[in-house]
Chains A and B, each alone.
Chain A
Amino acid sequence: MIDRKSAPPNTAEAGEILAVDRGLADRAAEGDRAAFEEIYRRYVNRVYGLCLRLTTDVVEAETLTQDTFVKGWFAIAGYAGHGNLGGWLGRVAVNLWKDRFRASARRERLVGEMTVNQLGDGSSGTSADLTGAARGSRDGVIDLLTGLDLERCIARLPEGGRLVFVFHDVEGYTHREIAELLDLAVGTVKAQLHRARRLLRNMLAEDREAAHGA
């Protein structure tokens, strides 16, 4: 997976990270478990964060994280050294999640939810939505918020919007990749993303106002 969203601090540092990743991956591919443990230490937070966003369940996220690293151990020889190892592990996690997701009833619920939301403009149906008058006064507050605020708000999104937002804005997948992943039309993905972003902005604004009022 290509990390599209966040540029590394500088080229030298990014190159150093990549070199370390490659070295560790090479050693792990030769059976060096200690090297793989180091890979785990470096990327467990990134992988677990992704798993938590996908599943919204601590136990499921832990299981998915473990399975990701177990699968990663056996597949590490396939890491070609392009892009950072965290992104590669993220792709492993998503593939595992996808297999389970497709086999579960959650997919049916998600497709149903998206279909229902598509009937309107996707602007109704959750407590996170605000009235037009209230929304108008809440522009331009996101810059003061933190990733933790956003994390909490993502967890409150409806499942369809949450998945699309996580895949697109957090993980850097394209609309088409997401459509294939979730078996949805590209247009549906775009609409869900639009809706999820709007819900998030509103939730973040609400949170901030609540914090100021407290």
Chain B
Amino acid sequence: MERNPENKENRDSQLNRLAGQMRDTGTAPDRDLWPDIDAAIDAAEHRTVIRAPHRKGMPWMRLAAVAAVLTMMLSAGWVGIRTITGEAIIGDKTTQEVASLDGAVESDSPASGLAVIDQALDELILALKDDPENRNLSHLVLMVHKTRGNLLRRNTESLVRN
């Protein structure tokens, strides 16, 4: 078949030309893929927003610590909190150091405190999905969840009293 090299070259160049045309023309998919792509981008962007803290040196831990401290403050009051360190929660950080990590702890409003706790819970649950064997995380989730319930109950009681 390849007896004549010139003929072979000619046929190869014809094949190349066809291949180039084929590439540029492409093939239309059976359906419009844009709606799925659009939705997938939205979902990915949403995930990115939620997961963004993971890429910045695990600030979920900072947020969780703040939430934990905040819940303790709201539950036990300032006097009690001075005696409680954050060591059980975040290792070598004291409560004051934890408090200084984020301005959210400055607030003593139950609503803003609840928002911080909710955000921390979301972050912790996501982190737990990534690291399901982490006992400290499990403990944190349970603790924050429990204190969130207590805070809600106290808020409700306070509203009823007023």
Tell me, in angstroms, the Cα distance from A73 to B41 when the chains sit together: 8
B1-44 contacts to A, CB under 8 A, are 1-4, 7, 10-12, 14-31, 33-34, 36-38, 40-41, 44
**Chain A residues within an 8 Å CB radius of B18:** 142, 145-147, 150
Is A213 in the interface zone, CB < 8 Å from B?
A: no
State whether A140 and B25 are in contact (beta carbons under 8 Å apart), knowing that A37-B34, A37-B38 are contacts in the complex.
no
Contact residue among B3, B4, B10, B37 (Cβ-Cβ distance under 8 Å from A70): B37
Write the nearest CB–CB distance from A149 to chain B, whole angstroms.
Answer: 8
Q: Interface of chain A, helix or strand or loop or mixed?
A: helix
State whether A49 and B23 are in contact (beta carbons under 8 Å apart), knowing that A140-B11, A145-B18 are contacts in the complex.
yes
Which residue numbers of B lie inside 8 Å of A, CB to CB? 1-4, 7, 10-12, 14-31, 33-34, 36-38, 40-41, 44
Q: Find out whether the CB atom of B19 lies under 8 angstroms from the CB atom of A66.
A: no
Closest B residue to A37 by CB, please name it. B34
The tally of CB-CB contacts under 8 A between chains A and B is 112
Q: Find out whether the CB atom of B12 lies under 8 angstroms from the CB atom of A197.
A: yes
Q: Known pairs A136-B3, A146-B18. 6 more at Cβ < 8 A? A: A45-B29, A49-B23, A62-B31, A147-B25, A170-B19, A197-B12
**Chain A residues within an 8 Å CB radius of B26:** 43-50
Write the nearest CB–CB distance from A203 to chain B, whole angstroms.
Answer: 11
Q: Find out whether the CB atom of B1 lies under 8 angstroms from the CB atom of A150.
A: no
State whether A66 and B37 are in contact (beta carbons under 8 Å apart), knowing that A5-B23, A49-B22 are contacts in the complex.
yes
CB-CB contacts of A146-190 with B at 8 A, as 1s and 0s?
110011000000000000010001110000000000000000000
**Chain A residues within an 8 Å CB radius of B33:** 40, 44, 48, 62, 65-66, 69
Tell me, in angstroms, the Cα distance from A171 to B26 when the chains sit together: 12
Number of A positions contacting B (CB below 8 A) = 45
State whether A70 and B40 are in contact (beta carbons under 8 Å apart), knowing that A139-B1, A147-B18, A198-B1 are contacts in the complex.
yes
**Chain B residues within an 8 Å CB radius of A136:** 1, 3
Q: Find out whether the CB atom of A200 lies under 8 angstroms from the CB atom of B34.
A: no
Tell me, in angstroms, the Cα distance from A126 to B11 when the chains sit together: 21
**Chain A residues within an 8 Å CB radius of B38:** 33, 37
Tell me, in angstroms, the Cα distance from A37 to B34 when the chains sit together: 7
CB-CB contacts of A87-110 with B at 8 A, as 1s and 0s?
000000000000000000000000
Q: Find out whether the CB atom of A45 lies under 8 angstroms from the CB atom of B1.
A: no
Write the nearest CB–CB distance from B70 to chain A, whole angstroms.
Answer: 34
9 examples of A-B residue contacts, CB within 8 angstroms: A49-B22, A49-B23, A52-B27, A66-B40, A69-B37, A70-B37, A140-B7, A169-B15, A197-B15
Q: Find out whether the CB atom of B15 lies under 8 angstroms from the CB atom of A74.
A: no
**7 closest residue pairs by CB, A with B:** A45-B26, A6-B20, A49-B26, A147-B22, A5-B20, A49-B27, A46-B26
**Chain B residues within an 8 Å CB radius of A201:** 11, 15
Q: Find out whether the CB atom of B19 lies under 8 angstroms from the CB atom of A150.
A: yes
